[in-house]
Amino acid sequence: MSLKIREFSATPEDIAAVVEIDNLCDPEHQYTAEQFRYDLENFDTKKYVLRYYLAEKDERVVGYACYHHMPHRFEPKRFWVWVGVHPAFQGQGIGSALYERILSDLRKLSARWLHTSARETWTKSREFLEKRGFQEVMRSWESWLDVRSFDFSRFQRYLEEAKAVGVTFATLAEESEKEAKWPEKIYDLHTAIMADVPSSSPYTPPPLDHFRRTLIENPDLLPDGFFIAKVGEEYVGESFVFRVPAEPGHLTQGLTGVRREHRGKGIAMALKLHVIRYAQEKGYTLIKTWNATNNIPMLAINEKLGFVRQPAWIEYQKTLG
Ligand SMILES: CC(C)(COP(=O)(O)OP(=O)(O)OC[C@H]1O[C@@H](n2cnc3c(N)ncnc32)[C@H](O)[C@@H]1OP(=O)(O)O)[C@@H](O)C(=O)NCCC(=O)NCCS
């Protein structure tokens, strides 16, 4: 039977099909239908484009493709693209057909830059992208820390140093109880730090309400595992984690960052130590993090803490003529 490419609709069946393919293509990062629905419903489609297509064979979904603007790196002509084919149906032209489908849309939208990623170990995916003119623009190391055996005694000095320069630590859960302006303060901190995270295209701060919906109100964000470094009442640094519903025991590291004028005082190290202690106390086993290979300070911190490098992620870009 021939291949049919059709539009995605946000039904439980279509969502389950996309999530199943994602999880089969990337078994080390498991995703749930609830997470997919949350991300979909909180993507601002009034401002940004987002579109999914499904590939069907004998009425079974065997692949999907999507393209969307990047709210954190917004440029009307810049899109993130993704094609995923069920492993049992790979090598049959399905990915190519899906890619052609989205490319035709993207040309109509006057897209100029397409971005995507593949793991360095995903040989077939990399060949697929490179054959289609995608070029590597940056790499990130994924690193894992087993928190069960973490030895805090080796790092005590960072907590003492931070204290000596007047830095205190609070969680988002605590701040949201006692600081009326916490949303604006955390937004201001986060957007200032994000501008300094290495990226292949410039950071664009999303509006405050988008920040609230996608980060602060994200059901997987852990407010008592969200640490804020303060000098007086000023927020100067943050480090936070998300639970991973489909991977009990695992946490995903969100942004760790310190305002420029407060760097080099051990604050980032102290923030990460708070996160690791939280993970241990709550019975988590593993923290997964991602760092650009040119993010020297962050890599130095994670190496000192004992994070173990996994295969890198390669970000690709294609420029359309
Ligand atoms: C990465 C960042 C959080 C570091 O914050 P910081 O508070 O200055 O870091 P600390 O003072 O805690 O540094 C701790 C250790 O990291 C190392 N380090 C920090 N900055 C470094 C640099 N520029 N080069 C090399 N090593 C560095 C130091 O070796 C230090 O350890 P030591 O005192 O034992 O020698 C900060 O540079 C930042 O906010 N960057 C932008 C946000 C970002 O990229 N976050 C990560 C996204 S994945």
Alpha-carbon distance of 254 to 220, in angstroms, equals 11
Residue whose Cα lies nearest atom 20 of ligand 1: it is 297
Ligand 1 center from residue 219 Cα (angstroms)? 29
Ligand 1 center from residue 268 Cα (angstroms)? 6
Q: Please check whether the two domains, 4-111 and 143-312, share a CATH topology.
A: yes
Q: Which fold has domain 4-111?
A: Aminopeptidase (3.40.630)
Probe residue for ligand 1, chosen from 159, 196, 269 as the CB with the greatest number of ligand atoms within 8 Å: 269
Ligand 1 center from residue 256 Cα (angstroms)? 10
Ligand 1 center from residue 266 Cα (angstroms)? 8
**Strand runs labelled E in the chain:** 4-7, 50-57, 60-68, 78-85, 113-119, 135-146, 167-171, 221-231, 234-243, 250-258, 286-292, 308-309, 313-319
Pocket of ligand 1 (CB under 6 A): 193, 196-197, 255-258, 263-269, 291, 295-298, 300-301
- Scan for tokens 């489909």, then name that residue: 246
Ligand 1 center from residue 251 Cα (angstroms)? 21
| pLDDT at position 34 | 97
| pLDDT at position 2 | 87
Contacts of residue 111, defined as CB under 8 A and 6 or more positions apart, other chains included, come to 67, 77, 78, 79, 320
| pLDDT at position 1 | 59
Residue spans of the chain under pLDDT 50: none
State the closest ligand 1 atom to the C-alpha of 264, by its place in the atom list counted from 1: 11
According to DSSP, residue 216 is labeled: I
pLDDT tens, residue by residue, 38-88: 999 999 999 999 999 999 999 999 999 999 999 999 999 999 999 999 999
State the closest ligand 1 atom to the C-alpha of 259, by its place in the atom list counted from 1: 39
Joined together, the tokens standing for residue 186 give 């955390």
Residue type, 51: R
Residue whose Cα lies nearest atom 24 of ligand 1: it is 297
Alpha-carbon distance of 27 to 92, in angstroms, equals 21
| pLDDT at position 321 | 82
| 33 close to 15: Cβ distance less than 8 angstroms | yes
Ligand 1 center from residue 152 Cα (angstroms)? 18
Q: What is the pTM of this model?
A: 0.93
pLDDT tens, residue by residue, 267-297: 999 999 999 999 999 999 999 999 999 999 9
Ligand 1 center from residue 297 Cα (angstroms)? 4
Residue whose Cα lies nearest atom 33 of ligand 1: it is 266
Contacts of residue 178, defined as CB under 8 A and 6 or more positions apart, other chains included, come to none
Collapsing DSSP states into helix, strand and coil, what is residue 50?
A: strand
Ligand 1 center from residue 303 Cα (angstroms)? 11
Q: Which fold has domain 143-312?
A: Aminopeptidase (3.40.630)
Residue whose Cα lies nearest atom 21 of ligand 1: it is 297
Average pLDDT, the chain: 96
Q: Which residue ranges make up each domain of the chain?
A: 4-111, 143-312
Alpha-carbon distance of 301 to 24, in angstroms, equals 32
| pLDDT at position 134 | 98
Helix axes 267-281, 296-305, angle to 10 degrees: 40
